[in-house]
Amino acid sequence: MTWLRWLPTGGKLRAEDWTARHRLLTVILAVVVVVVTVFGVLGPGDGVTLLATDLLVLPCVVAATLLPHRRLRSVCVALGFTVACAGFVSLSNGLTEAHFAFFVAVAALALYRDWAPFGAFLVATTLHHGVFGVLIGGHTYDHSSAKAHPLVWAALHGLAVLLAAGFQVVQWGLTEAEERRAQDNLEESQAQLTVAFDETPVPMAMFAPDGLVLRTNAAYRQWLRLPDELPAGLTVRDLPLVPIGEASAFPEAVVSRDPLTLVRQYRRTDDGSLIWVQVHSTPLHDKKGRLRFVFAHCMDITNSRNHEAELRRQVRHDSLTGLLSRKAFEHDLAELLAGREPVSVIYLDVDRFKSVNDGSGHAAGDDVLRALAGRLSSVVPPGALLARLGGDEFVAALTGPPAHGLRLGQEILAAMGEPLDVAGCPLPVSVSIGVASEHGAEHADDVVLAADTAMYAAKRAGGNRIEVFTEDMRVSVHERLAAEARLREALAGHLPWTLPLWFQPVVSTVTGQIIGAEALVRMRTPDGKILSPYHFIGAAEETGMIVPLGQHVLRSAVEHLIYWSGHLGYVSVNVSPRQLAEPDFVPALAGLLAEHPELDPSRLVLEITETAMLASTVDVSERLATIKRLGVRIALDDFGTGYSSLTWLKSVPADVVKLDRSFVAGLAEDQRKSSIISAVLWLARSLGMSTIAEGVEEPADWTALQAAGCPAVQGYFFSPPRPPEEFQEMLINGVCVTPLAQFT
């Protein structure tokens, strides 16, 4: 029947809820017995009714307490209330108001939400009114109509109680419907929680306040290599993780009463491996603030921590050699300088390392640096700092008196006496070393700069040596920096004004006329002062600015040569080793000549020193031959100052040999010099080369060169380098020296 579906099913209370309600109703029934007894003793009722009531109710109370089945126990309570209400009515001589007790009882019994006690009470109440109303009407009803028609009034009373019970049933049914909806919602939430908990790839677990493991998901069990069925009584302290370094770690953290996020390192007890874990614990409390559960999310961050450690290591260590990086060295040096003892810094640079890179490739250069780092690591004592600052520059630092730093520098220099093992082959390597000492963290930059300055002093002195910093070196460094700054400013300005060319004439010993000129660059400062190359060429060579400077000189020289085409035979331009090594030098030279097709390339002479050829890392002969094919002539400058000048004279495709001034000065008084010059002149002529004597300053030297048959000379005897305007005036005059002028 469809209408039955609207009735509550009953009997669905949870055990703990039913027990609490049954205990309450049993206690109330016992209290009712006491109240009825007192009422019977003091009221108008007779003792027999009171005794009968007590004798019937008390067994119900005992049965409600002792019977095993909860429905039997609840029925006993219902019957007890029926008897108590009937006894109360009887002791009241059927008073109508006493019947209200039945309405109270039916509401109380509705707490069971069970048809058994509820129905038993309704049936027993109706029987009481009908049977007792017929047998002892005076004790059941207090009016004549009910006494005359007890069954009618029994039905009326039963209907009234039933109606009262009906509203309880409606309330009961509504409550069950609400509970079903709540249960459905709960089950849905639990299903969602189960999916979110069990299926998430993040290891998750739920713990009791005492650390008992209540629930884990598959990711958690897989992470800790636990079985799917956890052993009974497993606690957080039984998990296969042992904290490293800190006692208050994973086990205690996950049962914290407050939300907590921590990162700790642990050792697995199953394989001994070390892992990093990030734990997020979330406690759940009841309404009274008591901790009920703790949810823990555990993330294995070992890989990310290892990656971070590797990044920190890379920041602190040079990737090529494994030594400290520049940044790490600067940080650690400041800490050393903050101590009580002075600190010595040993700065070293590999001599001629560029030739290794350019000649054998950067891979070979890297092998040299790694081998050098290994050699240094074996010499530098423990506790000292050792770093690669970049390129082929290394630095060490140690505490103690300055003598300790000098001794370490000497030990490093001695250690470099043995060739390095590079790719299985011995390679001799020398270094230049600078040493400086300082105290106080505020001097960290100063002491490194001082050691660097001393190192450059050692390198300028020939390398393979050690120099200790002095204040005189600081002055030279400041001058070098000032020269570098002036040169940068000049190169950024209007080049014909900031870096003008001056010209020194080359004079024929036969005619005394100007046959050529050497272009020499000067620098004009912002205040108009003219500086010689001595003040900036060194800085240009060291910083690499010699390349753009040389390009400017070459281009400007060509422009002047074209302008003076009717008056000047040629212009010579000095080419530095750095320029000659540039791969773009020859293409740039060819491009410059292509811009001026009207210029005979042989009117341009490039002066190359023997030292430039020795220092160059390229095949000089091949590059010079390429230049010769362009039609440009080559001059071998400062001839006689090198170690193997005659060899170069034979092997280099030079057109002009320029005798160094050291052979010219005092030539008239030194027969040996005269013999050497005569030999060089004969050799040059036999090789098809022309000769120019430099540095002629005395009339006697000019006469001696004429007598020796030197075809051309230059020097202050004729003219110092002059600005273009003055030199042009000399060209217009046509003759630089006449036969009479040599004796005036």
Q: What is the mean pLDDT of residues 484-502?
A: 94
Residues 691 and 641: their CA atoms lie apart, in Å, by 16
Radius of gyration of the CA atoms of the chain, in A: 57
pLDDT band at 743 (very low <50, low <70, confident <90, very high): very low
Residues 650 and 631: their CA atoms lie apart, in Å, by 20
Residue 327 DSSP SS3: helix
Q: Going along 439-562, which residue ranges are E strands?
A: 466-468, 501-508, 514-521, 523-524, 530-531
What percent of the chain has a predicted confidence (pLDDT) above 70? 85
Query: Which residues, in sequence order, are CB contacts of 600 under 8 Å at separation 6+?
Result: 631
* 628-686 confidence digits (pLDDT tens): 999 999 998 877 655 445 556 666 788 999 988 887 887 777 788 888 888 888 888 88
User: How much is the pLDDT for 358?
Assistant: 58
pLDDT band at 611 (very low <50, low <70, confident <90, very high): low
> Count of alpha carbons within 13 Å of 227, Cβ hemisphere only?
5
Comparing 191 with 20, which gets the higher pLDDT?
20
User: How much is the pLDDT for 179?
Assistant: 67
For residues 280 and 253, the answer to whether their CB atoms sit within 8 Å is no
Q: Vertex 358, ends 352 and 360: CA angle to 5°?
A: 100
User: How much is the pLDDT for 171?
Assistant: 67
Backbone angles phi, psi at 585, to 5 degrees: -65, -55
pLDDT band at 394 (very low <50, low <70, confident <90, very high): very high
Residues 593 and 535: their CA atoms lie apart, in Å, by 30
pLDDT at 50 over 90: no
pLDDT at 156 over 80: no
pLDDT at 11 over 90: no
pLDDT band at 468 (very low <50, low <70, confident <90, very high): very high
Mean model confidence pLDDT for the chain: 82
User: How much is the pLDDT for 166?
Assistant: 67
* 283-319 confidence digits (pLDDT tens): 888 888 788 888 888 888 888 888 877 777 777 888 8
User: How much is the pLDDT for 744?
Assistant: 34
Please provide the distance, in angstroms rounded to a whole number, between the alpha carbons at the two ends of the chain. 151
Comparing 535 with 645, which gets the higher pLDDT?
535
Comparing 415 with 616, which gets the higher pLDDT?
415
* 335-357 confidence digits (pLDDT tens): 999 888 999 999 999 987 776 66
Q: What is the mean pLDDT of residues 468-482?
A: 80
Torsion of CA 325, 326, 328, 334, to 10 degrees: 150
Per DSSP, 599 falls in state S
> Count of alpha carbons within 13 Å of 318, Cβ hemisphere only?
22
Domains detected in the chain:
2-177 (no CATH), 204-306 (3.30.450.20), 317-469 (3.30.70.270), 546-732 (3.20.20.450)
* 431-466 confidence digits (pLDDT tens): 999 999 988 878 888 899 899 989 988 988 888 999
Nearest to 54, CA basis, from 78, 75, 31, 83? 83
For residues 469 and 478, the answer to whether their CB atoms sit within 8 Å is no
Comparing 131 with 627, which gets the higher pLDDT?
627
pLDDT at 2 over 50: no
Query: Which residues, in sequence order, are CB contacts of 295 under 8 Å at separation 6+?
Result: 204, 205, 206, 281, 282, 284
Residue with tokens 């409390």: 285
User: How much is the pLDDT for 446?
Assistant: 87
Q: Which of 359-368, 426-435, 536-545 has the lowest mean pLDDT?
A: 359-368
Residue with tokens 């006449």: 738
pLDDT at 240 over 50: yes
